[in-house]
Structure 1
Amino acid sequence: MSHPATVADVAAAAGVSRQTVSNALNRPDVVRPTTLTRVQDAIRDLGYRPHASARRLRTRQSSTLGVRLERVHGISGAVLDRFLHALVDAADERGMRILLFTATDPEDEVRQFERLVEGSDVDGFVLTSTFHDDPRTTWLAANDVPFVTFGRPWGIPDMDAAPHPWVDVDGRAGAHEATAHLLAAGHRRIGFLGWPSPSGQGDERRRGWHDAVVEATGDEPAAGLDLSCEDDVAAATHAVQAAFETGARPDALVCASDTLALGARFAFGAEVPVVGYDDTPVAAAVGLSSVEQPLVDVASAAVELLMGAGRSVLPAGTGHRLLAPRVVWRG
């Protein structure tokens, strides 16, 4: 075909009307499954791409998702960058764009929500870095704005019954796998270096370490092996060195982030196994084992929860995906 494929071309190839093609693109739930499959096959075979401007005029939607570009510190800030790249790709497959905006704090982020919604600049939001009593989700839910979070709604009693859609990576499972592997390798004094509680993600990762030790030994982790500090390399080095001074020297360490793992490596040297979290480029460069998050899958799941099987944002809803990480072993 010498010219870009049109709706008429797709309709002819699938043996349906142009309205059916439009429904398949924008309201797939009203199309019979067999017909939907024929249309989707024709779209793929012809390389058809809907005309975004025309669709935005027709549906009165912006075809845009808003995401805050956070100011990140520490080595693990690379995770957000990788997630944003994956999110742009996942959104593009549905004909959606990503609008990045900045905010100084969660309250300012809510003000940005209000500005973008009032201007019809976005159809929904993807939130990152969730935390206890998050005012952002409260505002979006109260205003019936579609959104999904990368991170659980920490603090509610039942995550499966969450009032909004979320995607997360099972931090407990990642830390548990790392700890169980170290135990199987013969280490018995396995410590954990995490963030001060309460921290949704940090507490989950700590729980994975704790449960693996109890399951393998039948006892609680030895005193002094549960360490915490802010997510900072120097603070991590200091926390491990302070543990040495009290006689609580682990023979292996699982950390809540690669930032903490690097600080621990400076304290230990290379003689003690240290496992980080996020599998950042720094971890790979210095040979640190680390838990890898499936960020491409996270981004795809976030877009799916917002859009279902179609090409427009759904009304605000619920649902969740908890994805499994894997440990990348080095050295």
Structure 2
Amino acid sequence: MATLKQVAAHAEVSVQTVSNALNAPHRLRADTLERVNKSIELLNYRPNRNARSLRTSAVELIGYCVPNWPNQTHLVMDQFLHALCAAAERTGRHILLFTAPPGVDGMPTYDDLHARRLVDGFVLSQTETHDPRHGWLKEQGIPFVSFGRVWKQTTQPGPWVDVDGAAGSALAVRHLYETGRRRIAFLGWPKASGLAEDRAGGWRDECKRLGLPISGLSVRCREDSLDEGARVTAALLDAGREIDGIVALSDVLALGALRELTRRGLTAGHQVGVTGFDDSPLADVVSPGLTSLRQPMDEIAGELIKILTGAPDGTPTERLLQPELVIRGSSAPG
């Protein structure tokens, strides 16, 4: 296997220049960087990951704790994991997936992974107020970035990337309004969820802006499941709310609503317009297809990796991205 000195000799540059090409390519002229990279490829040079990260504090292997979703069908996790791994690979890095208990019980796992130099930094998700991971990672000087904000905190405990859920819900309301809907219900999660409150706030504010009623039209589900989506939809219909539109906090709840509408002989997309959130794989295969808000997973993953690895392009350490409404048959004009 080639050495750093052999690469330098082949490219006719100094050892430091080869090191810069590997660890700080922005410091080199484009022609020099191209020459060094060609030599690296021709000689099949592979840097020692542990030595490199010890010397430069570079983030080479990135740890991500795969969340446990009790009583939920989280249909977008595969999409996010694929996007995250692909974004890391594009920069010559890799993702190490692991599991750990929530809260302080999971901290030994993070400590062990870093102490054994199995990872150099972490992407976090399911962050909470007073999350013990933030303080510990800061104390240890370990790089991290969060997918999602910590709710009910004026100052975020670290860098983050998130999707504007309020803007997404508002976009769904506006779309249903433009297709003739005037009594638009919202299917949400328990109040304890900051994400749920954010998306519910977007529905509420946009309804008010458009002069639409909201009283009695927002219902909270006990969990994110098809059965709960069907149950609360049935409750709205049985209560005589005369709804003609439903904005659901997730695709799972929206699919439950579609199931209940079908059971009652109602045509989704005509008598009642329905939208979901996440644009999960099932949204395109059910009939009618589910109109849903797509989270920009590739962009999310790319920004997470940029922030974590300290890309020198002025990348902000806080990024709020916009979802895209993908329109299908479930919200056809009434």
- With the length of structure 2 as denominator, give the TM-score of the two structures: 0.83
What does residue 289 of structure 1 align with? 291
> Helix, strand or coil for the counterpart of 2:243?
coil
Q: Residues 63 and 123 of structure 1 are in contact (CA less than 8 Å); yes or no, is this contact kept in structure 2?
A: yes
| 1:243 is aligned to 2:230 | no
What is the identity, as a one-letter code, of the residue corresponding to 2:175?
A: H
What does residue 206 of structure 1 align with? 200
Q: Residues 169 and 325 of structure 1 are in contact (CA less than 8 Å); yes or no, is this contact kept in structure 2?
A: yes
What's the offset of the Cα at 1:252? Answer: 0.5
What is the identity, as a one-letter code, of the residue corresponding to 2:66?
A: L
Structure 1 distance, partners of 2:309, 2:160, is 13
Q: Deviations over 1:113-166 (max 9, x none)?
A: 1221222221111111223332332332333321111111222125xxx23110
Structure 2 distance, partners of 1:90, 1:84, is 10
| 1:222 is aligned to 2:219 | no
> Helix, strand or coil for the counterpart of 1:59?
helix
What does residue 152 of structure 2 align with? 155
What's the offset of the Cα at 1:76? Answer: 5.2
| 1:321 is aligned to 2:319 | yes
**Equivalent of 1:146 in 143, 150, 170:** 143
What is the identity, as a one-letter code, of the residue corresponding to 2:215?
A: A
Structure 1 distance, partners of 2:123, 2:206, is 33
What does residue 314 of structure 1 align with? none
What residue ranges of structure 2 are gaps of 5+ in the alignment?
263-267, 330-334
Counterparts in 2 of 1:40-79, with a 5 A limit?
40-42=33-35, 48=41, 51-60=45-54, 63-72=60-69, 77-79=74-76
Q: CA RMSD in A?
A: 2.9
Counterparts in 2 of 1:153-192, with a 5 A limit?
153-158=150-155, 162-192=156-186
Structure 2 distance, partners of 1:121, 1:106, is 21
Rate the CA distance shift 1:11–1:152 in 2: closer, same or farther, 3 A.
farther
Structure 1 distance, partners of 2:325, 2:72, is 18
Structure 2 distance, partners of 1:177, 1:261, is 16
Greater RCO (CA < 8 Å, at least 6 residues apart): 1
Q: Residues 10 and 42 of structure 1 are in contact (CA less than 8 Å); yes or no, is this contact kept in structure 2?
A: no
Q: Deviations over 1:145-189 (max 9, x none)?
A: 21111111222125xxx2311011111111111111111222110
**Equivalent of 2:300 in 298, 303, 318:** 298
**Equivalent of 1:88 in 61, 77, 85:** 85
What's the offset of the Cα at 1:231? Answer: 0.6
Q: Residues 260 and 276 of structure 1 are in contact (CA less than 8 Å); yes or no, is this contact kept in structure 2?
A: yes
Q: Residues 73 and 225 of structure 2 are in contact (CA less than 8 Å); yes or no, is this contact kept in structure 1?
A: no
What is the identity, as a one-letter code, of the residue corresponding to 1:165?
A: P
What is the identity, as a one-letter code, of the residue corresponding to 1:119?
A: R
Rate the CA distance shift 1:199–1:52 in 2: closer, same or farther, 3 A.
farther
Q: Residues 64 and 97 of structure 1 are in contact (CA less than 8 Å); yes or no, is this contact kept in structure 2?
A: yes
Structure 1 distance, partners of 2:163, 2:86, is 19
What residue ranges of structure 1 are gaps of 5+ in the alignment?
311-317
Q: Deviations over 1:263-296 (max 9, x none)?
A: 1112223231110111111111111111101111
What's the offset of the Cα at 1:251? Answer: 0.6
- With the length of structure 1 as denominator, give the TM-score of the two structures: 0.84
